[in-house]
Amino acid sequence: MAKCGKQMAEAQGKRERLNQYELAEAVTIMQDAAYAKFVEGVDLAINLGVNPEHADQMVRGTVSLPHGTGKDVRVLVFAKGDKEVEAREAGADYIGSDDMVEKIQGGWLDFDKAVATPDMMGVVGKLGRVLGPRGLMPNPKTNTVTFDVGDAVKQLKAGRVEYRVEKSGIVHVPVGRRDFTPEQLVDNIRSVMDSIQKAKPSSAKGIYLKAITLSSTMGPGIKLDPLEF
């Protein structure tokens, strides 16, 4: 069995591996256990009692984090005419139509989120095999296919995140950075958990929130008590 490093071992020792902690305490432990020399991201992993292979048990959605993600989100907008102007005024980093499609087909992917007006989807659809696997394809279900491009850009820039349950039944969601205040992280996490609860499929039976784990990029996982949510 591979041995973990001294710093990781010390970090793991700051929490009881099998314990389930209340949110505020878990955040404190996570920040105290962090040892990386860079500012780590903070993520939630939620194990749900659903079967994603059944279409009526797919859990996905978006949530606007009260304090953002702490990251500079680069937004690309596929639009023309007035909507191109609207996107630029809202702060979009890249705007275009057929020219941007050709650029992406050529290998360019220097953006984090993409928005498209509905009339552009006939062109953007050509990029499905490129953007789809990377989670970059505009989608009406995540409000990234819309004529209200200005609002979509502002929300993405402010920290709106998307989530989707994986085949294993787990949802991974970024909730901020290690240098956020504990209060900011608690607010962000509660917003995510509220959204996850609202997204519960009516066909899901039994325990919905099976396990929740909080961690920084390099730090150990800290189990949260699902009953708190």
Cβ atoms within 10 Å, residue 46 = 24
Residues of the chain with CATH 3.30.190.20: 16-68+160-228
The average confidence (pLDDT) of the chain is 90
Q: Which CATH number fits domain 75-157: 3.30.450.40, 3.40.50.790, 3.10.180.10, 3.30.920.30?
A: 3.40.50.790
Q: Rounded mean pLDDT of 200-212? A: 93
Q: Rounded mean pLDDT of 18-42? A: 89
pLDDT of residue 35: 75
Pairing of strands 209-216, 222-224: antiparallel
pLDDT of residue 17: 64
Is the entire prediction scored with pTM above 0.75? yes
Buried b (16+ CB within 10 A) or exposed e, 110-147: ebbbbbbbeebeeebeebeeebeeeebbbbeebbbbbe
Of 116-120, 148-152, 217-221, the poorest mean pLDDT is in 217-221
Instruction: Report how far residue 108's alpha carbon sits from residue 120's, in angstroms, rounded to the nearest whole number.
Output: 19
Residue carrying structure tokens 């899901």: 204
Residues of the chain with CATH 3.40.50.790: 75-157
Q: What is the CATH number of domain 16-68+160-228?
A: 3.30.190.20
